[in-house]
Amino acid sequence: MAQTPTPHIGAQVGEIAEKVIMAGDPLRAKFMAENFLENPVQYNSVRGMLGYTGTYKGKRVSVQGHGMGIPSIGIYTYELYNFYGVKSIIRTGSAGAYHPDLQLGDIVIGVGACTDSNYAAQYNLPGVFSPIADFDLARAAVEKAETMGVEYKVGNILSSDVFYGDDTQRWKQWQKMGVLAVEMEAAALYMNAARSGNKALCICTISDSLVHGTACSAEQRQTSFTNMMEIAFDII
């Protein structure tokens, strides 16, 4: 942990909690800090990737942005796990629905993360690695969602490197395999957690549907996905 502050996180060791909730949008991290944490203290503003540490129901928790895509979350979660002693990370994100039953605002708990990324190639494995969530965190998320009475599904998600794809129907190839929704980061988070021997979970709120052609606004994505946030803070 001698490599702190890192090139991307300006905190000293000890300023970040062992439990971190992350979001792609740093303004969502700011929203969570202001609305869920007691006495939040900002520890990072490098590259605008805001990070805060405070307490939630007596637990010391940090929240931080991780940016968009596997390369970005790969950097931030690697540094958190390996340089700052973080033990658990929950990503709270938005996702596009592939399953016809998923509606805007529904929760998806990603127990597995398929990907079209080459991120796993760095490990030189003699086969294909399956990125999965921590079981205890996933089970706790399901139990919390049940008590809240929110609509949710549990299963595989896709972490895609492509937002604007050349083949606009390619998503149906993943849909036929039962993949629930698409986002852009969970697979790298799960791989970094596995490699460092730590815990990770991705909880997403459906922000748009490729099936129904519906979508939330940018403001709704930033501030209205509070069910997902409550689940994350309660189980971290």
Inter-residue contact 181 to 228 (CB < 8 Å): no
Is 136 a catalytic site residue?
no
Which domains can be identified in the chain, with CATH numbers? 19-235 (3.40.50.1580)
Identify the active-site residue in 25, 106, 134, 208: 208
Beta carbons within 10 angstroms of residue 164's beta carbon: 5
> If you average pLDDT over residues 63-70, what whole number do you get?
98
Would you state the structure tokens that stand for residue 38, as one six-digit string? Answer: 């007691």
> Residue 92: pLDDT above 70?
yes
Q: Which residues, other chains included, contact 233 with Cβ-Cβ below 8 Å and sequence gap of 6+?
A: 21, 32, 36, 56, 57, 61
pTM: 0.96
Q: Quickly list H helices, 39-115.
A: 70-83
pLDDT digits (tens, 9 = 90+) for 174-231: 999 999 999 999 999 999 999 999 999 999 999 999 999 999 987 777 667 999 999 9
Name every residue whose Cβ is closer than 8 Å to that of residue 43 and which is 6 or more positions away in sequence: 9, 10, 11, 15, 16, 51, 52, 53, 62
